[in-house]
């Protein structure tokens, strides 16, 4: 009889342990399911399928970014997104990256209200991004403007000569190897590069004149590459209003009938890391930031970037 009691107690203990592990397994499956939803649709999981104002942060050096283009299109197609706030904190970047953002924001603005808020810095291609919105806000001490284009290169022929290295270049035409790191820039090459820079500069000036409704001659005087504080930019007509997120929400409520009580939802600024390589890259980035590989070094082509030396 004692043996039966002991066996029954042991079976009861095992049953309790089994139930406990079943409970843990259910919790783990629920967590995995929620994690999978976030992975597939980061930032817009359960409970977020409601009317809201979306916020996309454009930070750091701007380059070609298909993710931003995708998310801006999704915001335009999503009926729950009632307005979009573009938060800019960028010194600029490539002219192509700025043009891509400008074009996609203008497409979005054709369907729903878009405002831009400039944070600490919204210069060059960052300013180009901001003026695509219906209204531009900045704080009094924000830095913006720096309207201009540049092309930078380096030439090492004298250094190579001191090292006893002779470099050769065989090109199909006089401009094919211009600019070159192994020989000085020719007058023809310099003239062609300047033509390309000024053509893009004229395009940038035209965007500012159109979006800010300023005479082209006025913009040309402002577009000498200098940065402006938010207060200066307001006085020059480069922005619409001093303020930040609160002022932007108030303007949307007053001018676009977007209720101020709608929740603000962040659009993920970058896609989730994929696989172990993506996770490793994200970990390195979080540990070292931009100290190992300055973003400027990864920019190709024409640049609209404010970077005081």
CA-angle at 203, arms to 111 and 63, nearest 5°: 70
User: Is the distance from CB of 128 to CB of 99 less than 8 angstroms?
Assistant: yes
Instruction: Give yes or no for a cis peptide into 257 (omega within 30° of 0).
Output: no
CA-angle at 302, arms to 187 and 194, nearest 5°: 25
User: Rounded CA gap, 223 and 265, in Å?
Assistant: 35
**What three-state secondary structure class fits 237?**
coil
290 is catalytic: no
Give 279-284's long-range contacts (Cβ < 8 A, gap of 24+): none
User: Rounded CA gap, 223 and 227, in Å?
Assistant: 9
User: Rounded CA gap, 241 and 244, in Å?
Assistant: 9
Total residues belonging to the chain = 309
The catalytic residue among 90, 124, 146, 180 is 124
The catalytic residue among 70, 176, 221, 290 is 176
Give 290-297's long-range contacts (Cβ < 8 A, gap of 24+): 290/60, 295/60, 295/61, 295/63, 295/93, 296/61
Q: How many CB atoms lie within 10 A of CB 42?
A: 14
124 is catalytic: yes
User: Is the distance from CB of 88 to CB of 118 less than 8 angstroms?
Assistant: yes
User: Is the distance from CB of 115 to CB of 137 less than 8 angstroms?
Assistant: yes
Q: Which residues are catalytic?
A: 124, 176
């Amino acid at each position: 009889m004692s043996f039966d009691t002991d066996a029954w107690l042991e079976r009861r203990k095992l049953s309790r342990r089994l139930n406990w592990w079943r409970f843990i397994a259910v919790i783990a499956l629920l967590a995995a399911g929620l994690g999978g939803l976030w992975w597939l649709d980061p930032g817009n999981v359960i409970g977020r399928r409601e009317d809201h104002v979306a916020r996309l942060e454009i930070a750091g050096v701007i380059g070609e970014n298909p993710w931003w283009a995708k998310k801006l299109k999704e915001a335009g197609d999503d009926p729950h997104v009632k307005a979009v706030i573009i938060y800019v904190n960028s010194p600029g970047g490539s002219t192509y990256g700025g043009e891509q953002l400008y074009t996609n924001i203008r497409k979005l603005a054709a369907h729903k209200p878009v405002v831009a808020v400039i944070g600490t810095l919204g210069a060059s291609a960052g300013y180009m991004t901001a003026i695509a919105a219906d209204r531009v806000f900045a704080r009094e001490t924000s830095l913006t403007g720096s309207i201009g284009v540049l092309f930078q290169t380096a030439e090492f022929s004298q250094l190579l000569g001191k090292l006893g290295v002779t470099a050769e270049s065989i090109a199909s035409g006089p401009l094919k190897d211009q600019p070159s790191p192994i020989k000085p820039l020719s007058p023809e090459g310099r003239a062609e590069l300047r033509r390309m820079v000024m053509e893009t500069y004229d395009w940038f000036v035209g965007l500012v004149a159109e979006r800010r409704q300023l005479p082209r001659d006025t913009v040309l005087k402002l577009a000498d590459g200098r940065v402006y504080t938010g207060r200066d930019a307001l006085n020059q007509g480069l922005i619409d209003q001093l303020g930040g997120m609160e002022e932007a929400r108030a303007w949307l409520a007053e001018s676009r009938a977007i209720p101020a009580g709608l929740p603000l939802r962040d659009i993920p600024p970058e896609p989730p890391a994929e696989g172990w390589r993506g996770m490793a890259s994200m970990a390195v980035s979080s540990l070292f930031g931009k100290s190992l590989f300055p973003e400027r070094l990864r920019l190709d082509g024409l640049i609209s970037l404010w970077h005081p030396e």
